[in-house]
Copies of this chain bind each other. A is one copy, B any other.
């Protein structure tokens, strides 16, 4: 569904430092807790090497042992991640605007950034009675079918757009756009209109509208609202709110050192 987040060729992993990073890469949303054997297999090293690498990461705080003896990502990584301007920094600037938007709509409000040809959800406020969505904070997703993804893709460098358009477009529902020519026209329309609408392209009962978060002329993130609906009309009342909140976030980020 999404591309591999791990950058660089496998050969780059063969440095000692690369092996440490490969241990961290072994942890995923689907497999957040690993045994030493899991890690050895994933990294492609003998058990003794895995033991040494894990010990080094444990001492640093990047990996922690749980009560069942399995390893998990440690608090130190989370703490360092809090310094990432595209992670928690952006989220801190955005949260008050997202909370305001949630207060007046009680629908799902989402914030995402682009990483390569994927998007990563940085924050989400989920309405308890709002339509179900597939997203999780820190989770990755494909760009083309989502409102936030369309905004991020429309403002991505041309080579990123071409890379996405050259690959097969996965259909999640019968409404997902899988024709590259049609997607190309939609991206042009997103750039022109300043908003992107995704009509039941991810799940059969949800429509989203997204707007770009711009900082000094660059689109750094996208904000969306996702509501239950069966046509683009479902999100029409929310367009001014999403656009205004996205602009507010951009203004706030620009103030952050």
Contact = CB atoms under 8 A, between A and B. Distances in A.
Nearest to A6: B60
A85 B32 contact: yes
Nearest to A18: B56
Contact of A27 (B59, B72, B83, B136): B83
Contacts of A28: 83
Interface string A64-89: 10110000111111111111111111
B78 A73 contact: no
Nearest to A29: B83
Nearest to A76: B5
Contact of A17 (B20, B27, B32, B86): B20
Interface string A1-12: 000011110001
23 contacts: A7-B60, A8-B60, A12-B56, A17-B17, A17-B19, A17-B56, A18-B56, A20-B21, A21-B56, A21-B60, A21-B62, A27-B80, A61-B115, A67-B216, A72-B85, A73-B87, A74-B84, A75-B86, A77-B80, A77-B81, A78-B122, A78-B138, A79-B81
A78 B86 contact: yes
A16 interface: yes
Contacts of A202: none
B83 A87 contact: no
Contact of A120 (B75, B96, B137): B75
A113 interface: yes
A15 interface: yes
A19 B28 CA distance: 24
A92 interface: yes
Contacts of A8: 59-60
Contacts of A150: none
A86 B87 CA distance: 17
Interface in A1-58: 5-8, 12, 15-21, 24, 27-29, 32, 53, 56
Interface in A151-173: none
Nearest to A140: B79
